Chain A
């Protein structure tokens, strides 16, 4: 039986390697057909920020890869609203990541769901396995 896997992302990208490592592990895990969700909270909300341009700091922009997650069956990206607000951000600052719903004539649907801290706590409690980055 498929288990519920949560990838917990709490760090801004580029300053440390956590964000990139998390994304790579998520892509590997996608091959095992588990029920995968990603959570972005605290500084982790910056991982899916729009307009990332790390060329001048000499790093590769890996943010377009989040758009490919839908093709791997990863369609649940939870973002904590309080974490956005504390940082002066809104949902408009996030990439509009979508997936094609194969049960609904491949209609494009948003993968990103902005939820409250209380809802995030519930999602954490529902998981079988949590990977922290």
Chain B
């Protein structure tokens, strides 16, 4: 009964990602798109929180690669453990998870 959570707002500007991670259950997937993708850069102040979600809570984290490219973030700058997906991968995630919830 896994859920796909989608976050599209910058985690430096809004608390959507924080709230999402506080509610995501073990086995759920969290996909960051649009301005939310800038949260996955290694070395940022969000690293501990993201690692806790992945390692402590077994939540799978994804980021949409076209949105990272738009903002000039290269794949090698993405925090280890976060998987990059393209639009086809986005569709696959919606299929693989029974439900989808957006955190606007």
Residues of A within 8 A of B (CB): 11-16, 42-43, 46, 49-57, 59, 63, 86-89, 93
Residue from B35, B45, B73, B87 within 8 A of A16 (CB atoms): B35
How many B residues touch A, CB cutoff 8 Å? 26
| Chain B positions 32-82 with a Cβ under 8 Å from a chain A Cβ | 34-35, 38, 41-45, 47, 65-67, 69-74, 77
Nearest CB of A to B21, in Å? 18
Bound together, the chains give a CA A88 to CA B77 distance in angstroms of 9
Residue from A15, A50, A88, A89 within 8 A of B35 (CB atoms): A15
Q: Is the CB of B35 within 8 A of A51?
A: no
Residue from A15, A57, A89 within 8 A of B41 (CB atoms): A89
Q: Is B103 an interface residue (CB 8 A)?
A: no
Bound together, the chains give a CA A50 to CA B13 distance in angstroms of 22
Q: Is the CB of B72 within 8 A of A93?
A: yes
Bound together, the chains give a CA A14 to CA B45 distance in angstroms of 22
Query: Which applies to chain A's interface (DSSP): helix, strand, loop or mixed?
Result: mixed
Residues of B within 8 A of A (CB): 8-10, 12-13, 34-35, 38, 41-45, 47, 65-67, 69-74, 77, 86-87
Residue of B nearest to A48 (CB): B72
Asked if A87 meets B44 with Cβ closer than 8 Å, knowing A43-B12, A43-B13, A43-B38, the reply is yes
**15 extra interface residue pairs, beta carbon distance < 8 Å, beyond A14-B67, A15-B8, A57-B67:** A12-B35, A15-B9, A15-B10, A49-B71, A50-B72, A51-B74, A53-B72, A54-B70, A56-B66, A56-B69, A57-B70, A63-B72, A88-B41, A88-B44, A88-B47
